[in-house]
Amino acid sequence: MMKFLTTLLIAVLAVMLTACGKPAEKWNNTDLTGLDYAKDFALTDHNGKLRTLQDFRGKLVVIFFGYTQCPDVCPTTMAEMATVMQQMGDQADKVQVLFVTLDPERDTQALLASYVPNFDRRFLGLYGDAAATAKVAKDFKVYYQKVPGKTPTSYTMDHTAGSYVFDTEGRIRLFLRHGQGAEPIVHDLKLLLK
């Protein structure tokens, strides 16, 4: 009887340990799951096509807000995302990177078409007029403000430096911090694709 109870106890413990499994993996970036903002946009891509979040269903969507004249944050973020795409391998086809301009005054369709795909041919630049830009920035809680330069056209833009990630169903999931390198982003995107 004692042998039977010992065997039963070992079996129960084994089942309990198996049920616990390994702990859930942790995000490297800020988890926004369940937040009730940044639900959609209606902007034109650098090919002239009107786009909404729905157009990218089935893919992870990474959205970065910036401008082409940016001297530092924007090009480094775009270069970092290009590295992310390389490190994603075949899974990169399940990721869409969108660059939304906060400077529609200077960032024309032609300029976005020459700037954005230079980082990765799959990346899309999105733009709207001043009102559409203000609306999408407000909807996504993105800060931006024009900073005057020495001439009327040499201004810069202060703006939020991180990126948003949406899952394959179009739900907001993560906020990516600027300047962290590709590896933490790749980890989180692969985790979302599981």
Q: Which residues are annotated as a binding site?
A: 70, 74, 159
For the CA atoms of the chain, what is the radius of gyration? 22
* Among candidate residues 141, 130, 123, the one with its CA nearest the CA of residue 39: 141
Instruction: Return binding residues for Cu cation.
Output: 70, 74, 159
Structure tokens at 105: 């005054």
Contact 184, 84 (CB under 8 A): no
Structure tokens at 49: 């096509």
Q: What is the C-alpha to C-alpha distance for residues 60 and 29, in angstroms, rounded to an integer? A: 15
Reduced to 3 states (helix: H, G, I; strand: E, B; else coil), residue 174 is: strand
AA identity, residue 141: K
